[in-house]
Chains A and B, each alone.
Chain A
């Protein structure tokens, strides 16, 4: 049982490049989330999804896009990478409405130079 799997673990981008962070969960969870964590800060919600085909913005969505075509996958797209997007990104999931306990992936460290 892999839980929540994120790829890649590390990536360096140049300013203006684009990339996709992949997230897959095998727990049949309906709810999935993307957070970013900056040094010395808590996790901030970027986007979330309550099921396939449904996504919504979190606290810091600018510069990102998401899609949810299947229950298992929730990729995060960065368009025109900027140094401000240098961060550690965490994907998480939970079963549903009455369960706030999230299961997190190991994180993806992104550096934009």
Chain B
């Protein structure tokens, strides 16, 4: 029973364009949603988050959107840069104790 799904294993975007990564979840008790970025041979690093009381959070080139009725969140990166090439995980949590990770989406930014 996968509580969190990232249905696109990979995504290829041209440099300067917008990257949109999607995440669907089933547990309506999740109250905090995080995105992590992972480079090869490194641990995941925190990127951006949103609480369930908001529907949008922006940090520089990164914006996360939350649609609670659809149990869907998305991460927008604009403009995309080569350094954004990495694996992105969405990770909702319930009560800030235990994150549940999606399978990840490998983003490749092409020059």
Which residues does A use to contact B, with CB under 8 Å?
A: 4, 31, 33, 35, 40-45, 48, 50, 58, 90, 92, 97-107
Contacts and interface: CB of A to CB of B under 8 A. Distances in A.
Given A107-B41, A107-B42, A42 B98 contact: no
Interface in B77-99: 89, 91, 93, 96-99
A33 B100 CA distance: 12
A101 B34 CA distance: 8
Contacts of B46: 101-103
A45 B98 contact: yes
22 contacts: A35-B101, A40-B104, A42-B4, A42-B6, A42-B89, A42-B101, A43-B89, A43-B101, A48-B97, A90-B43, A98-B96, A100-B32, A100-B93, A101-B34, A101-B46, A104-B43, A104-B45, A105-B43, A106-B41, A106-B43, A107-B41, A107-B43
Contacts of A100: 32, 34, 49, 93, 96-97, 99
Contacts of B89: 42-43
B16 interface: no
A2 to B, nearest CB: 13
